[in-house]
Structure 1
Amino acid sequence: MIDKFREDVLSVVDRVHDGASIAVGGFGSSGRPDVLLDALCELDRRDLHVYVNNVGHDFTGVGRLLHEGRLRRVTASFPILQEFYDDYFAGKVELELVPQGTLAERLRAGGSGIPAFFTPSGAGTMLADGSFTLRYSPEGGVAEHVPAKEHRMINGRQYVLEEGIVADFGFVKAHRGDRKGNLRFRLSARNFNPLAAMSGRHTFAEVERLVEVDALHPDDVHLPGVFVDDVLLATRAAADQPLMERSAS
């Protein structure tokens, strides 16, 4: 059996290099892989490009990466943290704003080997016509725009071409996982996690509980282990618990 469980998060995340792109699961703090994100800070990784639904509302998770100046670009739908916009308009971080459904489909497409797809979301808007500011200069002027995207009329409706996302790494958090990397998410914490996992060339999963390989019923597996490279326990509190459970719930 291939055992993907690792005890040392820093040795796993050490493979993430400066300048890497990372697809991050979670919606706000729900299902957010904070142990993995904190490890990036402990390892002093910088110049990162994150694909994430939202930056968050405080200086935890992706917000901590922002606060410590570790982000080069954010591809997101809801970067609601005010300090993010302060850095964005000061030219310290780039923003690619993407409709939420489009972001989810771009992650899924990249993980499924689909290079691009047409969608009506965003067609004809500044998100697709080349007028949205990707990066400001430190002086406050526009330094670079998001490139214009291909538009096409299909059955009388305008569509825009969006590219699938293939990130260098995927960071996800699951409720339960086994040593083969099969994952089960809990309720709304599933959110972007399976998609982020699929889109990463190398995916790390932190789990609240590590279970035996036969503990998860096939119908309870939300993400098969083929998409996961390494499994870690999510919290120190979880690390103090027995490593194996027999419950399949």
Structure 2
Amino acid sequence: MIQKRFENSAKAVADIHDGATLLVGGFGGSGLPSHLIAALVEQGAKNLTVVSNNIGAVSDGVAALISNNQVKKIICSFPVGPHADDLIARLQNGTIELEISPQGTLAERIRAGGAGVPAFYTPTAAHTELGEGKETRVFNGRLHVLENAIIGDYAFIKGYRADRWGNLVYNKTQRNFNPVMATAARITIAEVDEIVEVGELDPENIATQSVFVHRLVKLEAKREEGVLANG
């Protein structure tokens, strides 16, 4: 039996080191682990490579890390919008690197990382600027681009309910990138709205199994508490 101990979000992110690769779940604000991101802003780790669908608002999401000079590279599918001015300025002065990956390709690169598949071919991005410089191969008369899997040192994910072992249930569209990111990181940290006892979750509704969740933080109106398991 793994020894578990209580933690808050600040302690859960305390060991994230400079230069780490961080996977951040969410689609816009839905399923965004905003408390963990805020804790990392306070913690201050720098030169991060961040993988996320989009960068979020200036005061929230990955944009908060960018504004705090903590990100050296962002891999995402949607960097545009009125919130992207800071990112654009940093791209222009060369202080941050941007890699755009089509949304389905990004999800599959993360899924492949969690499944132990090092790379895969896809027709998406063939004959476009996003495919330039990448290895290609023709299958059934159609050009495919080789895409590398993504693996993170850490993953921040947002769940709805968890049991004390770390099995997770998501709230509808808040699931999005969170389950695949949970499988593709060395240490996965989940923030959840509620923690219940083992056996209270319907096994048919568990989307992320406890083996993939290492740290668990419960969010409450006035305080945070959580369970740190498996690292």
TM-score normalised to structure 2 length: 0.91
Q: How much does 1:198 deviate? A: 1.1
1:210 aligns with 2:213: no
| Aligned CA-pair RMSD | 1.6
Q: How much does 1:235 deviate? A: 4.4
Gaps of 5+ in 1: 130-147, 244-249
CA gap of 1:126–1:9, structure 2 versus 1, over 3 A, is same
- 2:130 partner SS: coil
Q: Contact 1:150 / 1:160 at 8 angstroms: preserved in 2? A: yes
- Percent identity over the alignment is 43
- 1:195 partner SS: helix
Q: Contact 1:4 / 1:230 at 8 angstroms: preserved in 2? A: no
CA gap of 1:236–1:44, structure 2 versus 1, over 3 A, is farther
Q: Give the alignment of 1:9-48 within 5 angstroms.
A: 9-48=9-48
Letter in 2 for 1:76: C
Q: Contact 2:8 / 2:224 at 8 angstroms: preserved in 1? A: no
Q: Give the alignment of 1:95-174 within 5 angstroms.
A: 95-129=98-132, 148-174=133-159
Q: Contact 1:26 / 1:53 at 8 angstroms: preserved in 2? A: yes
Partner of 2:229: none
Which one of the candidate residues 89, 96, 103 is aligned to 1:86?
89
Letter in 1 for 2:112: A
Q: How much does 1:114 deviate? A: 0.7
Q: How much does 1:58 deviate? A: 2.9
Q: How much does 1:93 deviate? A: 0.8
Q: Contact 1:26 / 1:193 at 8 angstroms: preserved in 2? A: yes
Q: Contact 1:209 / 1:238 at 8 angstroms: preserved in 2? A: no
Alignment length (residue pairs): 223
Partner of 1:143: none
TM-score normalised to structure 1 length: 0.85
Q: Contact 1:32 / 1:173 at 8 angstroms: preserved in 2? A: yes
